[in-house]
Structure 1
Amino acid sequence: IMKLLILAFFIAGAYGCGLPTFPPILSRVVGGVDARPHSWPWQISLQYRGSTGAYYHTCGGTLISSQWVLTAAHCISSSRNTYRVYLGKQNLGVANEPSSIALSPAKIIVHENWDADRIRNDIALIKLEREVATTDTIIPACLPPSGKILANNAPCYVTGWGRLWTGGPIADNLQQALLLVVDYATCSQPDWWGSLVTQNMVCAGGNGQQASCNGDSGGPLNCQNIDGTWDVDGIVSFGSSLGCNYPKKPSVFTRVSAYISWINNVSHTYFQQQPNY
């Protein structure tokens, strides 16, 4: 019986949250590097359908359960009425990667207090048309505990198909970059981001070497727990128009731990509703 229990535990634990089958290679390389394929299996590509019928990558996002994706409110546009969520992607330039699946949204919920002028509450949830099975290449990230505050200089990784340098093209292969967290006391100083940053945000990078670029919008700031699991602690929100990695202008993320009750409320509200926009 003990053998059965142990086996059952490992089967249940094999696909929890935040534990990739193929762990990321955590380099300290300055700037973005190609990620090990499928080492960030919760990373999604949010794509919209253009006038020709072709789909275009517009933002990143994070799978947080079998049917819910977290992204930024500013990624959702009322003028783009057809989206799809691509899961299990590594190379955006490869049309039919065997590990990947594209699903339509059943529901898109933008935070009711999203303020585009002041970039507040930059968070949205996408309910997928159906539940997605967990595989080696599609695994949800863990949500942080409510109220979690990252320590200054905590090492986290931003991932996405964003621009690798200011004005550059978006990347084909998924990128990762190490960013060190900048605490609120520092980031809110007048010569940093000042009052534009609130305590519901996380700053990271801004050392003039590493930062996320605009193509990464909506994607995760991934931070590892002591037990090896990964939380999605941030959602890429905004950066400096001066460039991707300007000194004292770190990337700014929506702090996910400030919105746990909102995430829970939304996911429970739409738990059994039929698809509609």
Structure 2
Amino acid sequence: MAARLVLILVFTCSTLIFVGGTILDYDLLLDSSAEEMLENEGDIQIESSRDQKSNRRDGSGGIWYRAFRPIFPQLPPITEPPRPSTSCSAPPSGGTIPPCMSQTECNAQGGKAGKACGKGFSRGVCCDFDYIVDCGNTTSLPHAIFRNPEYPETTKSTISCTINVVPKPTACGIRIEFMDVMLAPARNGFCFQDMFMIAGGGTVENSGFNTQICGLVKGFATVVPINETTDPLQLIVIAQSKNAKWNINVTQIPCSSAFTPAKTICGVRNNPSLQARSLQTSQSYKNQSLKELPRTFPQPRILGGDPTNGNQFPWMAVILFDNTPVCSGTLIDARWVITAAHCVAFYEEENQSVMNRLRVWLGALNIDLMPRQEPRRVERRVSRVYVHNEFQSTDFDVALLQLNESVPFTVAIRPACFPQNKDQNFEGTTGIIAGWGTDGSSMSNVLLAGSVPIWSNAACNIAWSAQSLNIRDSMICAGDGSVAQCRGDNGGPLITQNGDGLFSFIAISSFSAQPPCQNPDFPDVYMRTSSFLTWISLVLSPPLPADSLSPFTPIVT
């Protein structure tokens, strides 16, 4: 037994001595070439780290461990790819640098979205305008853009810029939209520093230089009627303020796209003897309305006439500026209201968009009530204002308001009809006027209406000669002083009943003699609707399809 213990002890000691010698003496495991390699590796790769990590990692076998660990290839440093430029640059062929704007704004201005630009909330697209017409050039494109050379920056020096627009043989009008225009404001009603003008083009009664426009006119527009004999239009901007800019869409309106009133119910006056509530549930309310004869108004006790009830005139519109009623208007289509130009042409306003300050109410009766108190009332914003291209003072005082969305036709909201006979002068007949204007002291809170006699233009000219005012063929005179339009009634309709029982707006209320309201010596003056039918039709024409846009190619003349 003792002998066995001695043998086990000897065997164990021999094993430990052998293993220890193997671990401590790496020469037993390596040949001479391996030793050289380890020495080189130790000099190059291990020396720097040995001092720092020897206490933690080195031991009697530390050299063996480092010598035989895997050697991985060194990867090249990672470099971040260059970021794309956040600014727009001129095309390789040269030209102007496209502006950076949102894609929505680019599309609205007729541009073509290019590469991304900007940062953060200002991120957008470089908007290319291939059909920009430079100063001094001529275009016959269906769609072109007229802007100052520095746009979107303002002018840096005095500039006079003119382009020529050659009407196509198939065009009946030129649409001019002020997408972004900032000119010096007018003073005392006159443009004295900066101005935009249109030269040429056929209008209601003449051709030549059209109305001068200045101020902040973003959102406004106009249409110039043309015919096959019309010379090229000249669009002229004179900027002396050195702080002006303009970006104007110019579109040719094909004769084939001219607006035609939709075959929808129009000119139906609600029966004042019926409650509006019963009309909504009556299956034959249209026929009942058609049979209703014009109401005979008694001698009015107020300037505007008698109060109405039951939405008798469902085409009446209230026009508000900064939430204050300023004028009346007439609904002529689901998205269009016609009124007087002087009600909405606030070109002198600076630093605020007029479009954001205009509102239109339809289906209203009492304008002092809150909208929730009149559930049939509908409010719309104004997306664009078309002012007649020759509007100035008392001439061509017509404007069309394009609503931001259509209004539903209900018992309280329906359009008036256009005149059936454009050659009828209506002299000697009786018309009806309505509005929320003053009754001699303050604005009326309810819609007032009254009957007025319609004068001949010859008699009206004689009456107004004392005021040195020429009554044009495009005007109508009405009233004898007993019932008269007053402040707040301007822009409203003069209506008559057709032979089929429907009501048409034959004129738009424009101006009165001084002192205003109920002046028996001078009839009130209205703009004759039939004289503006061509202009109205062109304004209401649908826009050109997108595929009609093409790059600008100057025409050599």
Q: TM-score band, normalised by the shorter chain?
A: 0.7 to 0.9
Aligned mates of 2:544, 2:494 — CA distance in 1: 26
Alignment partner, residue 251 of structure 1: 524
Q: 1:272 to 1:28 in 2, by over 3 A?
A: farther
Alignment partner, residue 396 of structure 2: 121
Aligned mates of 2:527, 2:464 — CA distance in 1: 21
Q: Which one is further off, 16-25 or 74-83?
A: 16-25
TM-score (norm 2): 0.43
Bigger CA radius of gyration: 2
Alignment partner, residue 138 of structure 2: none
Residue 538 of structure 2 aligns to a residue in which SS? helix
Identity %: 29
Residues 167-193 of structure 1 deviation map (CA, whole Å, 9 limit, x = unaligned): x10100000011110110110115666
Q: Which of 296, 299, 303 pairs up with 1:27?
A: 296
Q: Which amino acid aligns with 2:522?
A: K
Aligned mates of 1:271, 1:64 — CA distance in 2: 22
Q: Which of 410, 418, 421 pairs up with 1:143?
A: 418
Question: Quick one: higher RCO (CA 8 Å, sep 6+), 1 or 2?
Answer: 1
Aligned mates of 1:198, 1:68 — CA distance in 2: 26
Alignment partner, residue 471 of structure 2: 197
Residues 43-77 of structure 1 deviation map (CA, whole Å, 9 limit, x = unaligned): 0000011xxxxx10010000001111100000012
Q: Which amino acid aligns with 2:438?
A: R
Residues 136-192 of structure 1 deviation map (CA, whole Å, 9 limit, x = unaligned): 000000011463333322111110001122xx1010000001111011011011566
Q: CA contact under 8 A between 2:464 and 2:470: conserved in structure 1?
A: no
Summarize the alignment of residues 222-233 of structure 1 with structure 2, pairs less than 5 Å apart.
Answer: 222-233=495-506
Q: 1:270 to 1:248 in 2, by over 3 A?
A: farther
Summarize the alignment of residues 49-64 of structure 1 with structure 2, pairs less than 5 Å apart.
Answer: 49=322, 55-64=323-332
Residue 57 of structure 1 aligns to a residue in which SS? strand
Q: CA contact under 8 A between 1:187 and 1:194: conserved in structure 2?
A: no
Alignment partner, residue 238 of structure 2: none
Q: CA contact under 8 A between 1:90 and 1:174: conserved in structure 2?
A: yes
Query: Unpaired segments of 5 or more residues in structure 2?
Result: 1-261, 273-291, 547-557
Query: Unpaired segments of 5 or more residues in structure 1?
Result: 1-11, 50-54
Tell me the matched-pair count: 251
Q: CA contact under 8 A between 1:145 and 1:260: conserved in structure 2?
A: no
Q: 1:59 to 1:191 in 2, by over 3 A?
A: closer
Provide the aligned C-alpha RMSD in A: 2.2
Q: CA contact under 8 A between 1:224 and 1:230: conserved in structure 2?
A: yes
Alignment partner, residue 265 of structure 2: 16
Q: CA contact under 8 A between 1:146 and 1:258: conserved in structure 2?
A: no
Alignment partner, residue 47 of structure 1: 320
Aligned mates of 1:272, 1:224 — CA distance in 2: 38
Kindly indicate which of the two structures has a greater share of residues assigned to helix. 2
TM-score (norm 1): 0.84
**1:251 to partner: Cα distance:** 0.9
Alignment partner, residue 341 of structure 2: 73
Task: Tell whether 2:483 aligns with 1:210.
Answer: yes
Q: CA contact under 8 A between 2:270 and 2:313: conserved in structure 1?
A: no
